[in-house]
Amino acid sequence: MLRQRVITAVVLLVLLGAALRSASHWPFDLLTMALISAAGWEWGRLNQGRGPWPLLMSALLAAACVAALLLGWTEQPPLAAWWLATAVWVVGGAFALRGGPAAWPHLPQLARWGIGLMGLFAAWLALTHARAVGMNFLLSIFCLVWVADVCAYFGGRRFGRRKLALSISPGKSWEGVWSGMAGVLLLALLWVLADRSLGHASPSLYSRLLEVLGLAGAALAVAALAGVSVVGDLVESLVKRAAGAKDSSRLLPGHGGVLDRVDALLPVFPIALALTGL
């Protein structure tokens, strides 16, 4: 299992690294489109899709991504898309988490499929636009999610007492959430200092938030983004529990499925772009 996990991680990192180093945006856009389409297939299967329906969901998602590329949305997306995605995650996420795994299957199947398609498409569009804004901006969002996850894990293990969502993810605690937020606030401070000393060609998420929202607003926004990364993780865990599945699929040997790897990223990218106005 460990060998499979390492090999899969290395292959993905090589592909991602090659796509990011390319002078053209096409390799990155197409690689992420393939991954997000696979996530659409997984979402369909987890939400009681049978026969060709999960593949149809994947195809619809890929078609929407191709249409966005042809319309130039990866370079100049409609700003309303980010706020629509934010509303879906804030309202829909709160509704889903309040109902828990038992209530999720009682939602109309078309509604569950539609929520998944909108969330995945918005995340892909935000991801590709962040790449167009600049490498510094893109990596600063990735690192926010990774640091929030790592700090939440170790903070939860060390200080965790109060469970966050026992019926969805028993290992998560409120102390872990606070630890994740503290970690990303420190990350933001260090990154802004690096931006000012190194003079990056593109702004980072943190410098942009500081410019748009001021110090207090930027701090609140960074903490909120760490919080919504937890929401993304919990929503995917909820859907898997409702489906009785441990992993979203076995597409990534040793890692489970694509959704298992990107769940925390899905709400963060579009909401980050909404907050920065990019």
pLDDT attached to residue 252: 81
Mean pLDDT score of the chain: 91
Would you say residue 251 has pLDDT above 90? no
Q: How many whole angstroms from its chain centre is CA 165? A: 19
Supply the pLDDT for residue 164. 87
Q: What is the pLDDT of residue 137?
A: 95
Is 235 within 8 Å of 96 (Cβ atoms)?
yes
pLDDT digits (tens, 9 = 90+) for 85-139: 999 899 888 888 988 899 999 989 888 998 999 999 999 999 999 999 999 999 9
- Summarize the confidence of residues 64-86 as an average pLDDT: 92
Residue 272: per-residue pLDDT: 97
Q: What is the pLDDT of residues 165-204, one digit of tens each?
A: 888 988 899 999 999 999 999 999 999 999 988 877 788 9
User: Domain-by-domain residue ranges, the chain?
Assistant: 2-276
Residue 36 in this model has a pLDDT that exceeds 80? yes
pLDDT of 278 strictly over 80: no
Structure tokens at 238: 């909820």
Is pLDDT of 160 > 70? yes
Tokens representing 50?
Answer: 């049978």
Structure tokens that stand for 67 in this block:
């249409």
Identify the pLDDT of residue 73: 93
Residues 87-95: contacts with CB under 8 Å, at least 24 apart? 88/115, 88/118, 88/119, 88/122, 89/119, 89/228, 89/231, 89/232, 89/267, 89/270, 89/271, 90/228, 93/228, 93/231, 93/232, 93/234, 93/235, 93/267
